[in-house]
């Protein structure tokens, strides 16, 4: 291995917060060589992005403070340089791309202008930068690069925007590229394309690539070496095969064990009574048709997963069932009544039996209501469910049922972690004793270990209370562990449906097979096999 | 875009039509128009003559039809005071108000945007503290008091500036300065708040990772994004000034539309009041249209 080009030595960073100083990273060491892919793996709050932000001079001081350490780039300590000297390194020598390219691109300037700027501020003449921008956009695989340069960020899809970010980062051929969760917001097939693009560009330019991720699958797919961080400390370093095959640290062992996609798959659930029968459901916004006739059966106590990429219409299905949007056509029979045409008064009664849990519990729980108020609000709307004197006890019961403490009822949502908030959202849904809970990406925003806990909770509640789930997700391993049957959607149509075993072990449609092949597995060996399969399919 | 402007013009024309109707019936609702036009001590004979002359003895609907006809021809009647067409009187005054508002808003905008942006870049720094302190005082200071104090100090005390009129550039300094204070304080606060948001955004992080220097980060990357709420408040303030900066114009004897309206009300010059209402209404419509166009200019995601 050649000398490292970038080396972080003994770095400790503290942030002053309202609740006192928080040590974000403690004595972190890592190094990156040219031509190498290093992954930093960690859950939210592990401090995995902090050292990269320190490299880029993105830590605001105050509230941040660098307590100790060096960041050596080609042997020179970045932390001893002036801001002006560091600005000369940011861009031409070390570049960075981020999660969520929509918010990281400036909405009011064309993408062409933004890429040009990266070159112009470091001395490239404007005309040359303009020409190079078009080249770059072509190189990262955007169709019609000349036209693309004149467009604004909101006119691209998520994957295209990340390509724009990559073009911008690579404009000056940096020696190091830092990618902070570069594919987290993207669909699985787009994720696979972006990772392949990064790999290809890295091979071509010989730069060092640092990938910061929470996803073991990304590590298995792309990394040469991996460091695992927990609570601001590096707990383990090794190759992906070492980390996955023989994790040394207890934290890493737990993390690997929690990765979804390895559990027992459910067997078919034939012969149960149908709860909801949707037939030929369509939805159009003006001229734009988003659903073209969806058939869907949900049986009592069954978990039906709807998988598909963004824009496939999977969330629209949920909105039609809850009548948050009205269907353009079709029927949805619920106990012999059509949900789509039911009068408002009756709908209110049915809504009691159909509850929702949303993706982001931070946004879906009112921050100014206590947990008790959030849960008992359901009974204000449906007063016949429970007499008021019993509310207090029932809230305590529900909180215990979802694995929280009864005295949490007095607290407010911001006092809980993401996983706990999702438990509160589930308790709220349970308050009305529903027969169907619609989970719209309900576990996507959670860390792997928390995700596994919430899934176990949902499964247990489903069994105990005979609740059916409509589980909308893009994460296939989670679906594999949790669902009884699977509906695969694409562009407003059902591509394939069947019991979970059939969909995962023996998919019939090419689209489903593509989806399976694009999904990342934490096991580097499995991942290598999938990569071969993917290349065969492309060839 | 052209379609949008046309649609907005039609919508505004409808609003104006309602205003025209409301003005007629409100003036009748408040009682006998002779009371409105004539002095309190006018004799019965004068009143009867006035009624006959102005067709006030005709049925109300006939009067209304005549009124609508006048409006359609932009004939608001003749000013009692100057015996000139009311519209000409109002337009004359409106020119002065327009220049006053324009000059003041240019100063306000430049000063508030630059100071607010720099304050937001270093929140809690010395500039931020000073700017916030003065903008809060400015936003809450009563302008009639400032105007009088300014006259006492600069005109009466030092004798540097004239107290009223519009003869020279010196005449403009006091009205513009007094008019400047409140919108400056308000807009500076809006710019500062909006810029703090913009500077904390993800795209600014990207710009820093590209190696962009602080000044272009503030004025090229963040400011354009931060301008939407600022433009809204600016439009609101400018509309207030177009309506006539009544207090300031009156105190400084500035011949603008605000002072004209007050004088006309006191002198029962109803034709001029009517013309002034219509002219300011049209001005505010144009103003709002310009604000909407500014939105689209600033943010490519907004298209009409």
Which has the closest alpha carbon to B185: B133, B128, B254? B133
pLDDT band, very low/low/confident/very high, at A11 (cuts 50, 70, 90):
very high
CATH class of A274-521: alpha beta
Give the position of tokens 């034709």: B271
Per-residue pLDDT averaged across B149-163, rounded? 83
Q: How far is B268 from chain A (nearest CA, A)?
A: 52
Residue in chain A closest to B200 (alpha carbons) equals: A60
- When CB atoms are compared, the residue of A58, A107, A122 closest to B301 is A107
Q: What whole-number distance in Å separates Cα of residue B168 and Cα of residue A300?
A: 86
CB B214 within 8 A of CB B117: no
Q: What whole-number distance in Å separates Cα of residue A186 and Cα of residue A204?
A: 24
Residues of A with CB under 8 A from a CB of B: 56-58, 86-92, 95-96, 98, 100, 103-110, 117-118, 121-122, 152, 154, 165, 168
CB contact under 8 A, B203 and A152: no
Q: What whole-number distance in Å separates Cα of residue B279 and Cα of residue B271?
A: 12
CB A108 within 8 A of CB B300: yes
Of B42, B72, B102, the last residue of a domain is B72
- When CB atoms are compared, the residue of B209, B216, B300 closest to A95 is B209
Residue in chain B closest to A174 (alpha carbons) equals: B210
Q: Which two tokens stand for residue B58?
A: 């005709």
Q: What whole-number distance in Å separates Cα of residue B157 and Cα of residue B177?
A: 17
- When CB atoms are compared, the residue of B203, B221, B301 closest to A154 is B301
- When CB atoms are compared, the residue of B206, B211, B216 closest to A88 is B211
The answer on B124 and B241 residing in a single domain is yes
Q: Which two tokens stand for residue A372?
A: 């008790």
Q: How far is A89 from chain B (nearest CA, A)?
A: 7
Q: What whole-number distance in Å separates Cα of residue A435 and Cα of residue A299?
A: 10
B contact test, residue of A81, A102, A108 with most B CBs within 10 A? A108
- When CB atoms are compared, the residue of B203, B213, B224 closest to A105 is B203
Q: Which two tokens stand for residue B236?
A: 């609101």
pLDDT digits (tens, 9 = 90+) for B214-238: 999 999 999 999 999 999 999 888 8
- Is B196 in CB contact (< 8 Å) with chain A? no
Dihedrals φ, ψ of A461, to 5°?
A: -60, -40
The residue among A315 and A1 whose pLDDT is bigger is A315
Chain A partners within 8 Å of B208 (Cβ): 56-58, 90
- Is B206 in CB contact (< 8 Å) with chain A? yes
The count of other CB atoms within 10 Å of the CB of residue B193 is: 15
Q: What is the ipTM of this complex?
A: 0.79
The count of other CB atoms within 10 Å of the CB of residue B69 is: 10
Is the pLDDT confidence value at A37 over 90?
A: yes
Which has the closest alpha carbon to A87: A62, A56, A63, A123? A56
Which has the closest alpha carbon to A206: A397, A423, A326, A32? A32
Q: How far is B5 from chain A (nearest CA, A)?
A: 23
CB B234 within 8 A of CB B288: no
Q: What whole-number distance in Å separates Cα of residue B258 and Cα of residue B248?
A: 9
CB contact under 8 A, B206 and A88: no
CB contact under 8 A, B206 and A165: yes
Per-residue pLDDT averaged across A474-495, rounded? 90
Q: How far is B112 from chain A (nearest CA, A)?
A: 22
Is the pLDDT confidence value at A239 over 90?
A: yes
Chain A partners within 8 Å of B202 (Cβ): 98, 100, 103-104
What lies within 8 Å, CB to CB, of A341 at 6+ separation is A331
The answer on B171 and B39 residing in a single domain is no
The answer on B186 and B100 residing in a single domain is yes
Residue B78: exposed, middle, or buried by beta-carbon count in 10 A (0-12, 13-18, 19+)?
middle
pLDDT band, very low/low/confident/very high, at A233 (cuts 50, 70, 90):
very high
Chain B partners within 8 Å of A100 (Cβ): 202
Which has the closest alpha carbon to A221: A247, A207, A241? A241
Residue in chain A closest to B224 (alpha carbons) equals: A108
Three-state SS sequence of B111-129: HHHHHHHHHHHCCCCHHHH
Q: What whole-number distance in Å separates Cα of residue B206 and Cα of residue A95?
A: 10
Is the pLDDT confidence value at A350 over 70?
A: yes
Q: How many CB pairs under 8 A join A and B?
A: 72
Domain of residue B31, residue span: 2-72
Residues 214-273 of B with CB under 8 A from A: 216, 221, 224-225
* DSSP per-residue letters across A251-292: HHHHHHHH-SS-SPPPPP-TTPPEEEEEEEEEEEETTEEEEE
Q: Is B193 helix (H, G, I), strand (E, B) or coil?
A: helix
Q: Is A206 helix (H, G, I), strand (E, B) or coil?
A: coil
The answer on B103 and B44 residing in a single domain is no
CB contact under 8 A, A152 and B300: yes
pLDDT digits (tens, 9 = 90+) for A191-201: 888 898 899 88
The answer on B283 and B211 residing in a single domain is yes
Q: What whole-number distance in Å separates Cα of residue A138 and Cα of residue A144?
A: 7
Number of structural domains, chain B? 2
Q: What whole-number distance in Å separates Cα of residue B250 and Cα of residue B260?
A: 9
CB contact under 8 A, B209 and A168: no
CB B46 within 8 A of CB B38: yes
The answer on B274 and B251 residing in a single domain is yes
Q: How far is A28 from chain B (nearest CA, A)?
A: 22
Per-residue pLDDT averaged across A460-471, rounded? 90
CB A474 within 8 A of CB A308: yes
pLDDT of residue B248: 85
- H or E element, residue A67: strand A64-73
Dihedrals φ, ψ of A174, to 5°?
A: -70, 160
Q: What whole-number distance in Å separates Cα of residue B213 and Cα of residue A73?
A: 21
B contact test, residue of A100, A102, A104, A123 with most B CBs within 10 A? A104
Of B22, B37, B72, the last residue of a domain is B72
Dihedrals φ, ψ of A5, to 5°?
A: -85, -30
Dihedrals φ, ψ of B159, to 5°?
A: 70, 25
Give the position of tokens 């719209």: A440
In sequence order, the β-bridge partners of residue A9 are A70
Is the pLDDT confidence value at A268 over 60?
A: no
| DSSP H helices in A274-384 | 314-321, 344-353, 361-364, 371-381
Q: What is the CATH number of the domain that holds B175?
A: 1.10.3720.10
Q: How far is A106 from chain B (nearest CA, A)?
A: 5
Q: What whole-number distance in Å separates Cα of residue A10 and Cα of residue A51?
A: 10
The answer on B68 and B91 residing in a single domain is no
Per-residue pLDDT averaged across B277-285, rounded? 88
pLDDT of residue A2: 63
Chain B partners within 8 Å of A129 (Cβ): none
Percent of chain A with pLDDT over 70: 98
CB A182 within 8 A of CB A140: no
The answer on B98 and B236 residing in a single domain is yes
- Is B201 in CB contact (< 8 Å) with chain A? yes
CA distances from A275 to A318, A432, A499, B33 (A): 15, 17, 17, 73
Q: Considering chain A, what is the average pLDDT of its residues? A: 89
CB contact under 8 A, A103 and B208: no
CB A50 within 8 A of CB A44: no
Tell me, yes or no, whether B24 lies in a domain. Answer: yes
Is the pLDDT confidence value at B274 over 60?
A: yes
- Alpha carbons within 13 angstroms on the beta-carbon side of residue B81 total 17
Dihedrals φ, ψ of B82, to 5°?
A: -105, -5
* DSSP per-residue letters across B35-56: HHHS-TT--HHHHHHHHHHTTT
CB contact under 8 A, A87 and B212: yes
pLDDT of residue A87: 93
pLDDT of residue A269: 57
CB contact under 8 A, B209 and A96: yes
Is the pLDDT confidence value at A1 over 60?
A: no
pLDDT digits (tens, 9 = 90+) for A351-379: 889 999 988 877 888 889 999 999 999 89
Tell me, yes or no, whether B190 lies in a domain. Answer: yes
CB B118 within 8 A of CB B218: yes
Of B46, B72, B98, the last residue of a domain is B72
- When CB atoms are compared, the residue of B202, B213, B225 closest to A108 is B225
Is the pLDDT confidence value at B167 over 90?
A: no
Per-residue pLDDT averaged across A18-47, rounded? 90
pLDDT band, very low/low/confident/very high, at A401 (cuts 50, 70, 90):
confident
Per-residue pLDDT averaged across A111-127, rounded? 93
What's the DSSP call for residue B244? -
First-residue to last-residue Cα distance in chain A: 34
CA distances from B122 to A297, B116, B125, B195, B213 (A): 58, 10, 5, 11, 15
- Is B124 in CB contact (< 8 Å) with chain A? no
Q: Which two tokens stand for residue A481?
A: 């562990």
What's the DSSP call for residue A406? G
First-residue to last-residue Cα distance in chain B: 6
Q: What whole-number distance in Å separates Cα of residue A286 and Cα of residue A112?
A: 33
Between strands A20-32 and A37-41, the pairing is unpaired
Tell me, yes or no, whether B81 lies in a domain. Answer: no
What lies within 8 Å, CB to CB, of A229 at 6+ separation is A25, A28, A40, A41, A42, A46, A47, A48, A235
In chain A, domain spans: 100-173, 274-521
Q: Is A79 helix (H, G, I), strand (E, B) or coil?
A: helix
| DSSP H helices in A140-239 | 145-149, 158-170, 188-205, 216-222
Q: Which two tokens stand for residue A441?
A: 């990406």
Residue in chain A closest to B198 (alpha carbons) equals: A106
What lies within 8 Å, CB to CB, of A270 at 6+ separation is none
CB contact under 8 A, B202 and A117: no
- When CB atoms are compared, the residue of A90, A103, A154 closest to B210 is A90
- H or E element, residue A23: strand A20-32
The answer on B176 and B229 residing in a single domain is yes
- Is B125 in CB contact (< 8 Å) with chain A? no
Is the pLDDT confidence value at B162 over 60?
A: yes
């Amino acid at each position: 291995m050649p000398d490292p080009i970038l080396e972080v030595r003994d770095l400790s960073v503290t942030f002053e917060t309202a609740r006192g100083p928080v040590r974000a990273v403690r004595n972190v060491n890592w190094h990156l060589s040219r031509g190498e892919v290093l992954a930093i793996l960690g859950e939210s709050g592990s401090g995995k992005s902090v050292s990269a932000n320190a490299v880029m001079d993105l830590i605001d001081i105050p509230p941040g403070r660098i307590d100790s350490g060096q960041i050596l780039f080609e042997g020179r300590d970045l932390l001893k340089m002036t801001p002006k000297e560091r600005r000369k390194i940011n861009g031409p020598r070390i570049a960075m791309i981020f999660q969520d390219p929509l918010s990281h691109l400036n909405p009011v300037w064309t993408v062409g202008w933004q890429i040009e700027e990266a070159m112009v501020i470091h001395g490239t003449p404007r005309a040359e930068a303009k020409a190079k921008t078009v080249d770059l956009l072509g190189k990262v695989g955007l169709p019609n690069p000349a036209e693309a340069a004149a467009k604004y960020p909101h006119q691209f899809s998520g994957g295209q925007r990340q390509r724009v970010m990559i073009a911008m980062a690579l404009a000056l051929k940096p020696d190091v590229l830092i990618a902070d969760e570069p594919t987290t917001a993207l669909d699985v097939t787009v994720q696979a394309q972006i990772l392949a693009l990064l790999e290809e560009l890295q091979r071509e330019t010989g730069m060092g690539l640092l990938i910061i991720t929470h996803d073991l699958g990304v590590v298995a797919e792309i990394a040469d070496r991996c460091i695992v961080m927990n609570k601001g400390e590096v707990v383990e370093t090794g190759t992906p095969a070492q980390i996955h095959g023989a994790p040394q640290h207890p934290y890493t062992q737990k993390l690997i064990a929690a990765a979804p996609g390895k559990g027992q798959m459910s067997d078919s659930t034939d012969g149960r009574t149908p709860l909801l029968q949707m037939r030929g459901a369509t939805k159009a916004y003006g001229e734009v048709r988003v659903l073209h006739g969806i058939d869907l059966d949900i049986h009592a106590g069954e978990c039906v997963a709807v998988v598909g990429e963004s824009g496939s219409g999977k969330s629209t299905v949920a909105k039609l069932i809850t009548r948050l949007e009205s269907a353009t056509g079709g029927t949805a029979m619920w106990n012999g009544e059509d949900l789509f045409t039911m009068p408002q008064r009756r709908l209110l009664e049915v809504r009691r039996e159909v509850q929702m849990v949303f993706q982001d519990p931070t946004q879906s729980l009112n921050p100014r209501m206590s947990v008790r108020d959030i849960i008992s609000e359901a009974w204000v709307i449906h007063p016949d469910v429970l007499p008021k004197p019993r509310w207090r006890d029932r809230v305590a019961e529900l909180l215990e049922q979802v694995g929280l403490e009864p005295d949490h009822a007095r607290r407010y949502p911001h006092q809980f972690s993401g996983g706990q908030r999702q438990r509160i959202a589930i308790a709220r849904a349970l308050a009305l004793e529903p027969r169907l809970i619609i989970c719209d990406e309900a576990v996507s925003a959670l860390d792997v270990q928390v995700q596994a806990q919430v899934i176990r909770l949902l499964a247990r509640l489903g069994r105990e209370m005979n609740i059916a789930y409509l589980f909308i997700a893009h994460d296939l391993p989670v679906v594999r562990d949790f669902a009884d049957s699977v509906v695969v959607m694409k562009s407003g149509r059902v591509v394939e449906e069947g019991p979970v075993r059939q969909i995962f072990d023996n998919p019939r449609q090419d689209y489903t097979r593509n989806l399976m092949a694009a999904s990342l597995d934490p096991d580097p060996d499995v991942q290598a096999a999938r990569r071969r399969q993917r290349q065969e399919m492309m060839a | 875009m052209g379609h949008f402007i046309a649609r907005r013009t039609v919508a505004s024309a409808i609003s104006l039509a309602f205003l025209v109707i409301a003005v007629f019936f409100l003036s009748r609702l408040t009682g006998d128009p002779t009371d409105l036009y004539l002095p309190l001590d006018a004799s019965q004979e004068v009143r009867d003559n006035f009624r006959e002359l102005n067709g006030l003895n005709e049925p109300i609907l006939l009067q209304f039809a005549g009124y609508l006809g006048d409006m359609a021809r932009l004939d608001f009647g003749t000013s009692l005071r100057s015996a000139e067409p009311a519209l000409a009187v109002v337009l004359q005054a409106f020119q002065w108000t327009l220049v006053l508002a324009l000059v003041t808003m240019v100063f306000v905008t430049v000063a508030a945007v630059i100071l607010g942006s720099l304050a937001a870049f270093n929140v809690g720094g010395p500039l931020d503290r000073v700017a916030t302190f003065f903008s809060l005082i400015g936003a809450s200071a009563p302008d009639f008091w400032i105007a009088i104090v300014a006259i006492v100090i600069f005109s009466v005390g030092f004798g540097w500036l004239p107290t009223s009129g519009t003869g020279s550039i010196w005449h403009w300094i006091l009205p513009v300065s007094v008019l400047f204070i409140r919108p400056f304080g308000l807009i500076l606060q809006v710019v500062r708040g909006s810029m703090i948001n913009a500077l904390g955004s993800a795209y600014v992080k990207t710009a820093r990772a590209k190696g962009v220097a602080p000044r272009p980060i503030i004025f090229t990357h963040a400011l354009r994004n931060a301008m939407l709420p600022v433009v809204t408040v600016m439009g609101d303030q400018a509309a207030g000034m177009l309506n006539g900066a009544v207090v300031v114009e009156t105190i400084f004897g500035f011949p603008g539309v605000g002072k004209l309206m007050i004088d006309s009300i006191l002198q029962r010059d109803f034709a001029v009041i009517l013309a002034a209402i219509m002219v300011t209404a049209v001005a505010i419509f144009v103003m709002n249209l310009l604000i909407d166009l500014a939105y689209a200019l600033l943010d490519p995601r907004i298209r009409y």
